[in-house]
Amino acid sequence: MIDLHETLQELAEAAVREGATPGPADAIRRGRQRRRRVTAGIGSLVVVALVAGIAGIGRLAGQPPPPPVVPAAPSTTLPRVVVNTGPVTGEVASQLWEDTKRALRECARRSGGPRLIAHGTAYGYFWVLGATAPPSGKGMCWSSGEARPGGGSGVGTSGSANSPSRKVVASGSQGETNGSVYGYVTKRAATVRVLFGDGRPPVQVPVLKAGAAFPVNFYIAFYPQPGPQRGPSGWAVDQLVALDPSGRVVARCRQRPPPGTCTEP
């Protein structure tokens, strides 16, 4: 509420300055200005009170102020799988591709030169997948390599004079942090689903198209591994199922001895 005494005092001071007695209009005008100032002041106080109330809820309730928010520790989750089909770049990945090409040349002496199918990263590793195109539809080799950023790599190569001879084949490796499975698959397939023998959820990956020079396409899949795999084979993969674009099964294979291989039933 506006203080009447204060308003009259202002009118009296204005009369002295202006040499005239203020009339009712002047009093009304000054009263409006005063109300605007008072209203603005009240709005500011309300905002301040709201901010103070939000910040001090714990104190008003008789509780100590909340502790400062501590930033969360960086996640230790390993990066997702990244697939590239362009040129290999970077020192580690380039050296891995050179090692993979050397293995492919040794496997397919009568086939065409090594061709890069795909490369990328998975669980902190670099990986490459390559193959040699069979000159007459048979005698194909394919190879996968993995390398740690800090050093250490491994390359696995498969192939024979009769390859490809099946609709889907698989081989792979398994460590303490992750495992992998790769191979070729019929061109009728659009995706490959990896099934595990220990009940973990399946992993499904798209087929990697190899082009007209190859009678088949390829795939590679990675999966997390919580620790060293225990069991007769040491490989968590149980089955692979190849699916066409409509989801129908066009090929499958099941793990059989020797460990790390998957053949059609």
What is the DSSP code string of 39-56?
HHHHHHHHHHHHHHHHHT
Provide the whole-model pTM: 0.66
- The rounded distance, in Å, linking the Cα atoms of 146 and 123 is 11
Triad 240, 241, 245: Cα angle to 5°: 145
3-state secondary structure of 101: helix
The pLDDT tens digits for 130-160 are 999 888 888 899 999 999 877 788 898 888 8
The pLDDT of residue 4 is above 60: no
Contacts of 108 (CB under 8 A, 6+ apart): 132, 134, 139, 140, 141, 159
**CA neighbor of 238 nearest in space, from 220, 256, 219, 224:** 256
Gap between the Cα atoms of 187 and 178, Å rounded: 28
pLDDT tens track for 5-56: 454 455 445 444 444 444 444 444 444 444 444 344 434 433 333 333 434 4
Sequence ranges of the domains in the chain: 4-60, 82-263
DSSP structure class, residue 232 = S
Distant-in-sequence, close-in-space partners of 134: CB < 8 Å, separation ≥ 6:
108, 111, 112, 140, 163, 164, 214, 215
How many CB atoms are located within 10 Å of the residue 161 CB? 12
Task: Find the range with the poorest average confidence among 77-86, 95-104, 108-117, 167-176.
Answer: 77-86
